[in-house]
A and B are shown apart, each in its own frame.
Chain A
């Protein structure tokens, strides 16, 4: 990064509260309404750092204003990318080296009718280190945006990751989110479907193992008419990992004929996991459809029967699901550095042999650490 002004051995810290607060809260004793982080206090060393255009200030990110402010300050610099229609462009890659305490602040403006692919990858880690990635995207009319967000940090790392999206009329946003590790991770996401007929689809996948803490807040605001939001979340909780998932679809007054759906499937393989889910559909409009579904626990009997008929017992099936998560992340990585970050995390979680096999079966080389 251009300026890294926080360090792993820093003793002065700031308490960040109200992270990942859902739009509709519940009983405090459930301890699901937010999460707090102690983060290094940013130091300014005299540089004049670049800020994003004010246009991005209004983009809601799901992670909370205090966290956004901290990330913008701690980044020390900001990156602004504008994508115009008809101009060929490579994927916009945001690389956050967690071990180096990187904090990135990126704003992408996708002009009317343009197409953009954005990959935000945070990886690695070091004891006591904190890293963060803040990505704000404005998609103008008929823009098509693909976002791939990966967090593949080590178990001793704490990380904050926020994505905010504004979608204008007929803009289509397709997002894949992979949370593959990190000692304490907060993922905040908000997509504001402001324009009529704008679309948002999110395929979110996670694996939390060991003593990982994963805290997620997905917020979809559906303001425009005929908007459509589909959130599919699948995850694996192992060992004594703790996960909190908040998913809110907010069907705002005026969003006639809007449809939103959210579904979460969690595979619990550890005896000591803590799994909290807060699915909410807020509705202030009559002609709308909101759906929610959840499946929490073991692999379904039908799937177990089918996988069994192919030679996989329950334990092998669980291992398949874990491997598949990394396979899928490698398949969608679009950039070799990102792919290598996923493979490095796969090696840490599944073993070096499995990581090598994933790479080779899919036809990629794996870089030795």
Chain B
């Protein structure tokens, strides 16, 4: 087992009027790849957002420790600067902000990534080529008028630029065609190789996992983490679905 990077302990969270996550405990080691699966509405995306510190959700119990620091009370900006990255399932449009301005600003916020404008341009150009992103996109407004696939590529570009210690990819594969999926998968693979960062993949689609070595699989049902297992658990779920986990949770609740 590698050094523990993320430790979630007894976490319960939700929106102001609705509890969503119940007593979640989970650990991710540095450089590990974890997969989070579960039926629709299980709370997987919520967990990703709660780890990121999305102010839409409030933690009612438990703690989140990242890289040895308790981050439960920190805002998303501080968590991001500490090395957590969340790839949005539906990236937010920011009219008025060209992509170039955004990328430059988020890089310059990090002392380890600060660089000259020339080197920044070179780096962005290289990543854009790697992800087959048209350079003209860089002068367009952030996520405005982009297709779903383009938005996901731009998310991958941010991932490769920011080189976080932990990347949470929230259904990054959803809505992608075969070609876009292949490019995004290459981006994730490049992140693993170049940054040696940890991954928490929230997904329904096992194709995106083909190029990755999965260390651990977690299953979430109705806001509860109901099973942890090795990579082979993914194949099991592919074959049999989530019914047995839902039944087990229901029986536990009845008992």
Contact = CB atoms under 8 A, between A and B. Distances in A.
Contacts of B86: 309
A305 B55 contact: yes
Interface in A34-56: none
Contact of A321 (B52, B55, B97, B121): B97
Nearest to B124: A361
A173 B20 CA distance: 50
A312 B109 contact: yes
A111 interface: no
Contacts of A319: 105
A4 interface: no
Interface string A285-325: 00000000000000001111111111111001001110111
Contact of A312 (B77, B91, B98, B116): B77
Interface in A309-366: 309-313, 316, 319-321, 323-325, 327-328, 331, 357-358, 360-363
Given A305-B92, A361-B120, A320 B97 contact: yes
B106 A311 contact: yes
Q: Is the interface of A mostly helix, strand, loop or mixed?
A: helix
B101 A320 contact: yes
B71 to A, nearest CB: 13
B72 to A, nearest CB: 16
Given A309-B76, A316-B77, A327-B98, A303 B92 contact: yes
B81 interface: yes
Contact of B139 (A265, A313, A316, A331): A331
Interface string B106-134: 10011000001110110000000000000
A176 B53 CA distance: 37
A205 interface: yes
B110 A324 contact: no
Interface residues of A, number: 33
A310 B101 contact: no
A232 B97 CA distance: 14
B56 A234 contact: no
Interface string B66-98: 000000000111011100011010011011111
Size bracket of the B interface: 35 or more
Interface in A143-176: none
B36 interface: no
B80 A309 contact: yes
Interface in A238-297: 265
A310 B113 CA distance: 13
Contacts of A303: 92, 94
B117 A308 contact: no
A307 B158 CA distance: 12
A265 B95 contact: yes
A328 B96 CA distance: 8
A303 to B, nearest CB: 6
A307 B109 contact: no
Contacts of B76: 305, 308-309
A234 B88 contact: no
B225 interface: no
A339 to B, nearest CB: 13
A318 B94 CA distance: 12
Contact of A310 (B54, B117, B121, B162): B162
Given A234-B96, A265-B95, A328-B98, A308 B109 contact: no
Contact of A362 (B95, B100, B158): B100
Nearest to A357: B117
Nearest to B109: A311
B245 interface: no
B104 interface: yes
B137 interface: no
Given A301-B55, A327-B101, A361-B100, A306 B120 contact: no
A324 B96 contact: yes
A309 B101 contact: no
B242 interface: no
Nearest to B110: A311
A360 B117 contact: yes
Contacts of A362: 100, 139
A323 B109 CA distance: 14
Contacts of B56: 301, 305
A305 B50 CA distance: 11
B92 A311 contact: no
Given A311-B80, A361-B104, A205 B91 contact: no
B140 to A, nearest CB: 9
B159 to A, nearest CB: 11
Given A265-B96, A305-B54, A309-B88, 5 more contacts: A309-B53, A319-B105, A324-B102, A328-B101, A360-B116
12 contacts: A305-B55, A306-B94, A307-B94, A309-B53, A309-B76, A309-B77, A309-B85, A310-B158, A311-B81, A321-B97, A324-B96, A361-B100
Interface of A: 205, 232, 234, 265, 301-313, 316, 319-321, 323-325, 327-328, 331, 357-358, 360-363
Closest 8 CB pairs of A and B: A360-B117, A308-B76, A306-B92, A311-B80, A324-B97, A327-B101, A324-B101, A313-B77
